[in-house]
């Protein structure tokens, strides 16, 4: 059995940041790509290693580690001597973790709302009410989120709230970059905080929300820089972007009304 086995999904933002961390560390891993709309994450064999029924899960030497932020920290704990992603100063570590907490509380859940409305809603619309309810009930971490969305999508009020949270997220990111002097969130070295926010910024750019940082060019430069890293191309293989999986989004995302479907 390989040392590292990653159960994930190509378009999952949480999966993407774990893939990136593994690639930065130069660790080979066996990748299992789960089809979330076929319910691979709800099969008994997967629930046996992750009872929350979400991706990603990293299995290291047979032991499962769940939750993307936890996995990232775990990889740093065991591979800290390889391409370090955490400062050596404990105070700076605390600062980095505060950044990650904000990222996970504000922009990360918010980006799911436009993502679901634009890309995933047709999957749910094709279900019966009973099938959709069964799906919601099967997801302990996402039940309320899916119930709120329903089979008609998030209403304008929810979308506006999510966009507001995303704006706060990019504004805070711009503040961090200005304070550190860049090019990364904590200064000269890439950190776990950069990797934590990376999938949010990439997703926003993919679904045409990059205008939110038009007054913060440092974010655009940050995005260009992270795209140039070897780990990025390995992480974002073809099919990892929503517009690659759902080509219609390339046109739909340009229409403001699509955001409020």
Domains of the chain: 4-79 (3.40.30.10), 90-260 (1.20.1050.10)
pLDDT of residue 208: 92
* Statement: residue 48 has pLDDT above 60: yes
Please determine, for residue 256, whether its predicted confidence score (pLDDT) is greater than 50: no
- Is 232's pLDDT higher than 80? yes
Q: Record the pTM.
A: 0.90
Above 60 in pLDDT, residue 83? Answer: yes
Residue of higher predicted confidence among 90 and 147: 90
Kindly state the average pLDDT of the residues 55-64.
98
Check whether 253 has a pLDDT greater than 60. no
**Residues 104-130: what's their mean pLDDT?**
86
Mean pLDDT of the chain: 91
Of 109, 68, 96, 74, which Cα lies nearest the Cα of 190?
96
Between strands 4-8 and 57-60, the pairing is antiparallel
- Distant-in-sequence, close-in-space partners of 144: CB < 8 Å, separation ≥ 6: none
For the ranges 22-26, 159-163, 202-206, 253-257, which has the lowest average pLDDT?
253-257
């Amino acid at each position: 059995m390989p040392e590292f086995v990653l159960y994930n999904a190509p378009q999952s933002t949480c999966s993407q940041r774990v893939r990136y961390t593994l690639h930065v560390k130069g660790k080979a891993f066996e990748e299992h790509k789960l089809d979330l709309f076929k319910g691979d994450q709800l099969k008994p064999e997967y629930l046996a290693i992750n009872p929350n029924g979400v991706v990603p899960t990293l299995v290291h030497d047979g032991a499962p580690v769940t939750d993307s932020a936890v996995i990232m920290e775990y990889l740093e704990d065991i591979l800290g001597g390889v391409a370090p992603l955490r400062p050596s100063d404990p105070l700076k570590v605390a600062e980095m973790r505060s950044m990650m907490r904000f990222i996970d509380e504000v922009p990360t859940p918010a980006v799911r709302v436009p993502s679901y409305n634009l890309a995933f809603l047709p999957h749910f619309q094709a279900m019966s009410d009973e099938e959709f309810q069964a799906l919601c009930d099967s997801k302990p971490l996402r039940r309320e989120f899916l119930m709120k969305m329903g089979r008609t999508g998030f209403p304008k009020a929810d979308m506006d709230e999510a966009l507001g949270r995303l704006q706060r997220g990019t504004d805070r990111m711009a503040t961090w970059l200005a304070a550190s002097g860049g090019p990364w969130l904590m200064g000269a070295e890439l950190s776990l905080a950069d990797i934590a926010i990376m999938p949010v910024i990439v997703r926003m750019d993919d679904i045409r929300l990059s205008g939110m940082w038009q007054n913060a060019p440092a974010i655009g430069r940050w995005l260009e820089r992270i795209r140039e890293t070897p780990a990025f191309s390995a992480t974002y293989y073809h099919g990892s972007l929503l517009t690659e999986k759902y080509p219609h989004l390339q046109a739909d995302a340009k229409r403001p009304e699509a955001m409020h479907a």
